[in-house]
Structure 1
């Protein structure tokens, strides 16, 4: 597993809050599924935050970027799983989805950009590029604007696991 930070193992001791799974073809049949799913999940996990409305908006935006990356770049068929875990101010979103070797390499390259010293410059370059955005744009945004720690790995069944650690609320609050 390529990890941006220590402790990003999906078998961590973070308590699981929500686990959803659906068919990747059904999910990718309509672009609006990204927004609907991210909005729903954000409302479910943000009810107990100090400023639940602000947190929900930030959470929904971050999760939407992850889901849109999967929408754009994924394997042909199989199951998409979304797991949300939390401990304190750390939220971990784990997306597991079908990905062939080519798809995995796309994410590997994108995570490399997120972890690069010039990630902000790469993000701005991708943001204002003339071509259709790839998986890296949303992931770069998460790394630069949300300080997300991202990692990928392969599951035993061949699917890919994309993990995002987010701390959207200060620990002192």
Structure 2
């Protein structure tokens, strides 16, 4: 099963720029790992952008939302893998991690909200609620504020892949 969002899509033959993996339990042992990993990866992929500092800040914020979502909602055991691809001004972040069927359904429902015609209203409602934040709040933010195109795919061995495609700067020359 795959949930997709309309719009940009990188060619599947685009090689990886960067790949990292770590144990999901180690990653989820400290909330600060989301910020540390997103900041590190953002600096690594921002070196050749027109405004590398601005790009790094935007990239770090977007990736941090993805990682915080995985931190909150993931399966029990296995690796968290992060792969980054780039084609022109489009970046593709792939997070692969353990996910049982209820976890996968949580992501599927969150991406449906991102794709909804009233996604911005749903995002604002979720952002300003006095209740516990919805598990998909970060994904809504990515879709509304960053124009991210999100997809998920159920993989073998109780894993899933969450993909975010982003265009954080205009075409480079």
What TM-score comes out, normalization by structure 1 length? 0.95
Whether the aligned pair in 2 keeps the contact of 1:70 and 1:135 (CA below 8 Å) is no
Summarize deviations over 1:39-67 as a string: whole Å, max 9, x none: 00000000000000000000000000000
| CA distance in 1: counterparts of 2:144 and 2:107, whole angstroms | 16
Summarize deviations over 1:2-30 as a string: whole Å, max 9, x none: 22137758x81122111101000000000
Whether the aligned pair in 2 keeps the contact of 1:8 and 1:151 (CA below 8 Å) is no
Count of equivalent residues: 172
| CA distance in 2: counterparts of 1:6 and 1:168, whole angstroms | 14
Per the TM alignment, residue 172 of structure 1 is displaced from its structure 2 partner at its CA by 5.6
| CA distance in 2: counterparts of 1:89 and 1:48, whole angstroms | 11
| CA distance in 2: counterparts of 1:103 and 1:48, whole angstroms | 36
Unaligned runs of 5+ in 2: none
Kindly report the root-mean-square deviation, in angstroms, between the aligned alpha carbons of the 2 structures. 1.6
User: Where do 4+ consecutive residues of structure 1 move more than 6 Å?
Assistant: none
Partner of 1:4: 5
Unaligned runs of 5+ in 1: none
Per the TM alignment, residue 118 of structure 1 is displaced from its structure 2 partner at its CA by 0.2
What TM-score comes out, normalization by structure 2 length? 0.95
